[in-house]
Amino acid sequence: MFWENHDPSSSCSRQYMSAIFYHGEEQKKLAELTFKQESEKRKVSTVVEPAKEFYNAEDYHQKYMLQKHPELMEFLELKRGPELVDNYVATRLNGYIAGYGTKEDFETEKNTLNLSEDAEQYILDNFKYTLKQY
């Protein structure tokens, strides 16, 4: 899933680099194995490193794609801040807005997200081009 959902060949600053941070030897071995497999298919800039202390990004980075839609944020009764970081629904919708997932995926999942009719319709109306049709 990691390799299929981003471009591991892009060269970015350390802040945005492609990385796998592992906890323990088993994760390290799996990361190195998949890294090797992926490297045989294409150029890979991803680094594999041990996990260290983790810091959340600043509020304005959290659920970045979702924050570009204040009307949807209002339907969800969400504001920028700590509650946005851990909000499962915000995480799922941010992914759909960014183009990850299909319309069928959203239709299947929407009832479990407890969205208002307004929020659901907003997503269907505004993201018909990012909800991929496979």
Residue range 67-92, pLDDT digits in tens: 999 999 999 999 988 889 989 999 99
Position 7 scores a pLDDT of: 79
Position 134 scores a pLDDT of: 41
* CA 27/CA 29 separation, integer angstroms: 5
Position 131 scores a pLDDT of: 53
Position 126 scores a pLDDT of: 81
Query: What is the pLDDT of the chain when averaged over all its residues?
Result: 88
Query: pLDDT band for position 1 (50/70/90)?
Result: confident
Mean pLDDT of 39-59: 92
